[in-house]
Amino acid sequence: MNAIFHFTNARLLDAEAGVLRDGLGVLVKDGRIAEVGSGIAAPSEAEIADGTLAIETPRVMVEGVVPVPAELAGLPRKQWPGPKPAIGVIDLGPEAHLVWTRVAPAEWVEALAASRLAREAGLEVRRLTNADEVLSALSDAEHHWLAIVNPYGEAFPVPAEDQWQAVLRAIRAYVATGGCWWETGGHSFYQAYVREGDGWRMVTIGTGGADTLGIPVGAGDVDQMPEPLHVTDEGAQVLGEEVTGALAGLSSSVNRGIPGDGPAPVTWVAGQRGGFIGGYRLNGWGWLCRIGGFWPNRDVAIPVVRAALEHLYESPPAPVPADPMPQLWHFAIERVR
């Protein structure tokens, strides 16, 4: 039997009242997509067997989300066309001090250069020494940068005091289109570094930095004691058995952690008070990752970042989260000959 399935879809804003919005349509013919309405993906299969109709409803994307390009979906990063990507580590020199972290840029460069990505896959670890170099890496549309690590805790470089929002927009765009940005401690984007003469001047942005990106940051006492950490089930899939086992029994302060609310965070390492290390998608298919605490344990931070980047390179892009809004589907079946 061949059939045409006319789907209509609406976002269910109030399940009890039945209030609907944003009608969409899909047409499936002979078990394959014939037409798709705007904003949704097609069902992968529609079959009639033994009198049973099996239909997988389309995946509905959040409005404004950047999807994985079709030519890259399902393809591990190491198999993408073009030259091998680099890993960037921001290194502003001795004049810029770390903020709520003790893991210096040189340690990150050394640790990443010793990773399988560098030793076996041949990826280069490069220093980014000023705001212009960081912006250039962020704006690269050819995916030449697998990741950018910011070792300065809650501080990040900007070309001018009034341009911190432009840098955050560049970070958002980089993450939305497949990049990976790592924040390594403290309250992310709380301070900005501006070049002044031969040194750097720190400008306080406050909570507006993280708020601009829509990522909530947890709270806690500045001198909060370290607490036991554990790898989540999702974290174990990303970090692998070796790193998951090595983290057992380790601790760190989780006083600027990753709350469970906000734009669907993913937590890989957690403490007793909530998420410690994890990431956000920022309406795209990359990752903005955070280490959420003051003075993070380097024996936790470095192995987790290294393992996460190895997983990122060896795996296809993770699917973009679907719209969490309840959906109401209607369809009609028309027999055809």
Least confident of 27-31, 220-224, 249-253: 27-31
**Token pair in block for residue 169:** 């927009």
Residue 71 lies in a domain: no
Give yes or no: residues 117 and 195 share one domain. yes
pTM for the predicted model, two decimal places:
0.80
The per-residue pLDDT for range 58-103, each reduced to its tens digit, is 555 556 788 899 999 999 999 999 999 999 999 999 999 999 999 9
Give the largest CA-CA distance in the chain. 79
Residue 66 lies in a domain: no
Residue 28 lies in a domain: yes
Q: Residue 319: its pLDDT value, please?
A: 81
What distance lies between CA 232 and its chain's CA centroid? 17
Give yes or no: residues 291 and 153 share one domain. yes
Domain tally, the chain: 2
Instruction: Check whether 17 has a pLDDT greater than 90.
Output: no
Give yes or no: residues 289 and 331 share one domain. no
Give yes or no: residues 35 and 99 share one domain. no
Contacts of 291 (CB under 8 A, 6+ apart): 101, 182, 183, 184, 185, 276, 277, 301, 304, 305
Residue 305 lies in a domain: yes
Residue 69 lies in a domain: no
Mean pLDDT of 13-39: 40
Helix (H) or strand (E) holding 309: helix 298-314
In a 13 Å sphere around the CA of 203, the CA atoms on its Cβ side amount to 18
Contacts of 109 (CB under 8 A, 6+ apart): 89, 91, 125, 127
User: Which strands make up the sheet holding 327-336, listed edge to edge?
Assistant: 32-36, 19-29, 2-14, 327-336
Relative to beta strand 251-252, strand 227-228 is antiparallel
Give yes or no: residues 250 and 290 share one domain. yes
Give yes or no: residues 49 and 119 share one domain. no
Q: Is the dihedral of CA 243, 248, 252, 253 positive or negative?
A: positive
Question: What's 305's domain CATH number?
Answer: 3.40.50
Banded pLDDT at 25 (limits 50, 70, 90): very low
Residue 123: other Cβ atoms inside 10 A: 23
Give yes or no: residues 195 and 213 share one domain. yes
Residue 25 lies in a domain: yes
The range of the structural domain enclosing residue 119 comes to 77-314
Residue 70 lies in a domain: no
Give yes or no: residues 145 and 293 share one domain. yes
Residue 191 lies in a domain: yes
Banded pLDDT at 328 (limits 50, 70, 90): low
Identify which of 287, 270, 286, 289 has the alpha carbon closest to the alpha carbon of residue 278. Answer: 289
Mean pLDDT of 32-60: 49
Cα(227)–Cα(214) distance, integer angstroms: 27
Mean pLDDT of 220-241: 95
Banded pLDDT at 148 (limits 50, 70, 90): very high
Give yes or no: residues 47 and 83 share one domain. no
Which of 63 and 217 is assigned the larger pLDDT? 217
CB 226 within 8 A of CB 253: yes
Give yes or no: residues 306 and 203 share one domain. yes
Banded pLDDT at 265 (limits 50, 70, 90): confident
Among all chains, which residue has been given the structure tokens 């079959």?
A: 47
Give yes or no: residues 288 and 332 share one domain. no
**Token pair in block for residue 185:** 């401690």
Mean pLDDT (the chain) is 84
Helix, strand and coil content of the chain, in percent to the nearest 5, comes to 25, 35, 45
Q: Residue 133: its pLDDT value, please?
A: 98
The per-residue pLDDT for range 275-315, each reduced to its tens digit, is 999 999 998 999 999 999 999 999 999 999 999 999 999 99
Relative to beta strand 145-150, strand 180-183 is parallel
Give yes or no: residues 176 and 259 share one domain. yes
